Amino acid sequence: MRAGLVQLNVSDDPVANLDMTLALIARAKAQGAQFILTPECTNGLWSNRAEQRGAMRTEPHDPTLAAMRRVAMQHEVWLLVGSLAVKSNDPDGRFANRSYMIGPDGAIVARYDKIHMFDVNVSETEVYRESTAFRPGSSCVLARTPLAQIGMTVCYDVRFPHLHRRLAKAGAQILTVPAAFNHTTGSAHWEVLLRARAIETGCFVLAPAQTGYHPEKEGKGRRTWGHSMIVSPWGEVLADAGTEPGVITAELDLDQVEEARRRIPALMHDRNFDGPA
C-alpha cells in the first residue's frame, strides 16, 4: 500500500486552508497514494481564540469535514484528516481536537479526540495552554480498516509511550501522529520521538505535520517544525518532507510489522515488577 502525507502551512482562513489541502490531496493521489493523511488542525490555526470560536462549526456543519468526505469518495482513497477543531458538547464551550478516519465511500469509520493537552511553557515567551480552548478526549481508538489496523493519536500524544504501546498490543500496525509541532521542540525531539514510538511498537509511524509561520499568537510568533515523516517498524525514516508544504509518499509493506516484532519481541516481554509506584 502506498501512503501519502500532506504537509500544510495553514492560516486562520479555513477556505484558503481547504484549497491548499485539496490541491495537495490531489497531488498525493497522482503519486499513487491509496491512504492519504493530513496534519493536526487541517482547518486552521488561530492566534485569537475568540475569532476561532466564530469560525468553528459543529461536526455535522463543518465544511472541511464535508469536503474531506467528498474528496475521499472522488479519489477512492482512505483519508486520515489529522484533526479538525470542531465545536463539541463541552459545558465550558471548548472545541474538540478530533482526528477522523474516512473510507473511500466517504463514511467516517473512526473518530479520535486528542487525549493529552499541550499545556506547556516552551520558553518564557512561548506559552501554550491547549486545554483552555480544547476539551481532551478520554478514549484510545484503533481504526480497523481493510488497509490496516490503525492506532490514532495526535501531536503531543507522541510523548506518552504507554498510549502507543497499548494501541500496538491491541493490534495496531500503523500509528498515525498528525501534528502541529512547534519549531523549538521539533528541532530537538520530533524525529527521535517518532522513531522511538516505531521501534518500541514495531508499527509504521505516519506523521503528517504543519510547517512554517502561522498567524501571530497574542503578538507572539507561532512557527511549526514541518518534517512530516514516514517511519518503518524498524525505525528507518522512509520519507521526510523538509520544511515546505507538499507531499511525501512511501510504499508500506505490512509484513515488515511482523518481521520487526519477530526480530525484537519486546512487545511480548512485559513483566510485572516491584518498586516505586
Ligand X SMILES: O=C(O)CNC(=O)[C@H](CS)NC(=O)CCC(=O)C(=O)O
- Contacts (Cβ under 8 Å, ≥6 apart) of 222: 45, 47, 182, 213, 214, 215, 216
CB of 36 to ligand X, least distance (A): 21
Is 87 a binding residue for ligand X by CB under 6 A? The answer is no
CB of 146 to ligand X, least distance (A): 30
Is 180 a binding residue for ligand X by CB under 6 A? The answer is yes
Measured distance CA(192)–CA(214) in Å, rounded: 24
Is 152 a binding residue for ligand X by CB under 6 A? The answer is no
CB of 74 to ligand X, least distance (A): 28
Which bin fits 39, alpha (ψ -120 to 50), beta or left (φ > 0)? beta
Nearer to ligand X, 41 or 230 (CB): 41
Residues 185-214 that bind ligand X (CB under 6 A): 185
Nearest to 247 by CA among 29, 18, 16, 19: 29
Residues 22, 26, 29: CA angle, nearest 5 degrees: 140
Nearest to 232 by CA among 257, 264, 258: 257
Q: Catalytic residue at 203?
A: no
Q: Catalytic residue at 59?
A: no
Nearer to ligand X, 173 or 182 (CB): 182
Nearer to ligand X, 122 or 170 (CB): 122
Q: Would you give the binding string for ligand X spanning residues 25-54, x where CB under 6 A is met?
A: ---------------xx---x---------
Measured distance CA(141)–CA(110) in Å, rounded: 8
Cell numbers representing residue 222 in the block? 507561532
Q: Would you give the binding string for ligand X spanning residues 90-129, x where CB under 6 A is met?
A: ----------------------------x---------x-
DSSP reduced 3-state for 122? coil
Select from 159, 166, 223, 261 the one that contacts ligand X (CB under 6 A).
159
Is 234 a binding residue for ligand X by CB under 6 A? The answer is no
What Å distances lie between residue 116 and 57, 108, 126, 261, CA to CA? 22, 23, 19, 27
Q: Catalytic residue at 251?
A: no
**Pairing state of beta strands 35-38 and 2-7?**
parallel
Active site residues: 40, 114, 155
Q: Which residues bind ligand X (CB under 6 A)?
A: 40-41, 45, 118, 128, 130, 155-156, 159, 180-182, 185
